Chains A and B, each alone.
Chain A
Amino acid sequence: MLKLTASKKRLLFFILLGWVLLLVGDRVGELRQYQGSFVAMYSLAIASIILLTGYSGQLSLGHSALMAVGAYTGALSINSAHLNPVLALVLATLVAGLFGLILGFAVARFSGPYLAGTTLALAVSLPTLANQFPILGGEQGVVFDVGAPPARFGESFSQYKWFFWITCLVALIMIWMISNLLSSRYGRTFRSIRDNQTAASLAGLNAGSLKVVAFAVSAGVAGLAGGLLVMLISGVSPSAFPLSLSFSLLTGAVVTGVYSLKGVMLGGLVLVAIPEIADSITTRIGGSEGFTATLPGFLVSALLIAAVMFAPNGPGQIFRKSNKQDNHTEGNK
């Protein structure tokens, strides 16, 4: 019996998960496939937050803006430059990452309130910029059409299943890569900076530039998730990336436990489930237009506060109360 290393085990797990998803995708209806693609997309976006917040201790409220950067890049490279969708998604990742690198150079060196506030300013101001450049399409936005599924999959292969396949595949590959990154030397250095920056600096790590790297990588992943999001809603417009998207992602990350990548799918599920729950509540008890429109936001915020109050270090914390002291020192994953 050959002995598996940790990284081989991880790869095997992701392949297995992909196989399970493939089987699941065949057996559920179109609505579930569509929702499943959103779960995958949100999971990827949450992974980018966890990479940033959980492993380098920075808090970003601007991931909706970074997703928008990726989304516009993807949409423009398909529409104006007529690139292959795969290439468009790669480009979305790279441009958002570059954007994150530039922004990160200015602010990611600071922790505390600076990064949070600056990224908040970004999230509020970037969508308004989109209205001012004709190439970005104003409020109408830009169409993002990934194309019909290849003919060789047969007639019965629906568009939603195609979405499901694409998002799941992209999310699996990226999250696998992130988890590899985080268990590598880089993951350890990120954690050391988060836990004790002075000690990390004394050990010869350049805390500032490592934080910038973490921010840039996280921005790239967010850009890719943004590209997937506009593929699912088949067009990009400023209103697709409100500030509340950043808050939702943060909620997803805190709910799954911001210091572990293990639960990202839970976060994605929660984000997809909340509008459904809100919808079923409003159809049951009715209520004014304001109530219907703000209930999802209320649930997200309430969940965020509940998570911070009762399980600040993730849902796992409740089950391992006994060894509470060491669950963060050994570092998850």
Chain B
Amino acid sequence: MLKFITAILTSLATGSIYALMSTALVLVWRSTRVINFAQAGQAVLTTYIGYEVIVRSGSYWVGLIAAIISGAVIGAVIDRFFMRPIFKRVTTGPIVMIAPVVATLGLLGIVQAIIGFKWGLSYQTITAPVSTDGYRVFGSVIAFSPFNLMVLVSVTITMILLTILFQKTNIGLALRASAHSPEIAKLSGIKVDGVRTLGWALAGAAGGLAGMLFVPSSYLYPNAMDVLLVFGFIAAVIGGLDSLFGAVAGAMILGFAINFATTYISSKLVFPMAFIILILVLLIKPGGIFSAQKGRKD
């Protein structure tokens, strides 16, 4: 029973980190129709910035805010000065289809190399602001700590804020309109380019938050978020790539599947489980579980 409760709680905690990454990917996908593979690099870079601020100021919370803000700024800068020129430049030839994705891959390499130049390849640690020792339940320690609870709460708050932004504000309306149909949005006077940049900024901030919440229970090194990027992508595909709700739900499904498989079957099943789920979703419902439209074939 205790094992079961622990599995549920850790699933929620890991699922919420995946949710931040999948949300970041979905935000960019909705605004520019690109899977931003550089997201892993951006998130690690902003986490390093947060790390530096923590070292200077001594406070995790100042570092967290610095990471979120710098994540947003970096996201916006990348869209404005990197992605937009590429979309404008590469307009002929069959490479148009893959050029943006290839560009984000190149960017991922550049960002990770810059991190390597600046901070080296050694492992850094960020100390969590609250205890990472598991709670004691009926005299035994479970694998769920106050920090995990903090992760869960902060992700929930973030998701509520994002939902309010998207559903209740004019900016959210503009974001949804440009995602749904850029041409019509442009005709209605929405500055689609600016809205896209905003989507990238939001994604960057979500990535920064994901990094700051993930690293305290792991280590900080240039490739720290690569695995999270993969899980975030799988979660986004489960959710249908287009919907924020789907991204969160997909992340939770993935978190539960992985944690239950590792708790009850074998601890070696993390990657095989994730991969099997991805393949199953693509085989059975390629449009994503939460997408109302028919399977997307192109």
Contacts and interface: CB of A to CB of B under 8 A. Distances in A.
Interface in B272-298: 272, 274-275, 278-279, 282-283, 286, 296-298
A290 B95 contact: no
B55 interface: no
B267 to A, nearest CB: 10
B109 A297 contact: yes
Contacts of B113: 294-295, 297-298, 301
B112 A294 contact: yes
Given A110-B297, A298-B109, A325-B92, A308 B86 contact: yes
Interface in B87-104: 89-90, 92-95, 97-99, 101-103
A302 B106 contact: yes
Nearest to B269: A132
Nearest to B233: A117
B110 A290 contact: no
Given A304-B105, A324-B92, A290 B116 contact: yes
A116 B237 CA distance: 12
A106 B85 CA distance: 34
A259 B93 CA distance: 9
Interface in B115-137: 115-122
B190 interface: no
A278 B268 CA distance: 37
Contacts of B18: none
Interface stretch (A90-98, A121-129, A174-182): A121-129
A59 interface: yes
Contact of A117 (B35, B116, B118, B268): B35
A200 interface: no
A258 B95 CA distance: 8
A109 B297 contact: yes
Interface in A48-76: 53-54, 57, 59, 61
Contact of B233 (A121, A197, A247): A121
Contacts of A325: 92
A106 B282 contact: yes
A121 B274 contact: yes
Contacts of B29: 113
Contacts of A114: 237, 282, 286
Nearest to A242: B223
A272 interface: no
Interface string B214-255: 000000001000110110011001000100000000000000
B231 to A, nearest CB: 9
A305 B121 CA distance: 23
Interface string A208-249: 000000000000000000000000000000000001100100
Interface string B200-215: 0000000000000000
A301 B103 contact: no
B102 A304 contact: yes
A99 to B, nearest CB: 13
A250 B282 contact: no
A112 interface: yes
Contact of B97 (A111, A121, A302): A111
A289 interface: yes
B101 A305 contact: no
Interface string A302-320: 1011001100110001000
Interface in A72-109: 106-107, 109
24 contacts: A57-B98, A111-B97, A112-B296, A113-B29, A117-B233, A125-B230, A125-B272, A125-B274, A244-B109, A290-B121, A290-B122, A293-B116, A294-B116, A298-B109, A298-B113, A298-B116, A301-B105, A304-B105, A305-B106, A309-B86, A309-B103, A312-B99, A313-B94, A313-B95
* The 4 nearest A-B residue pairs measured at CB: A301-B109, A294-B116, A298-B113, A290-B120
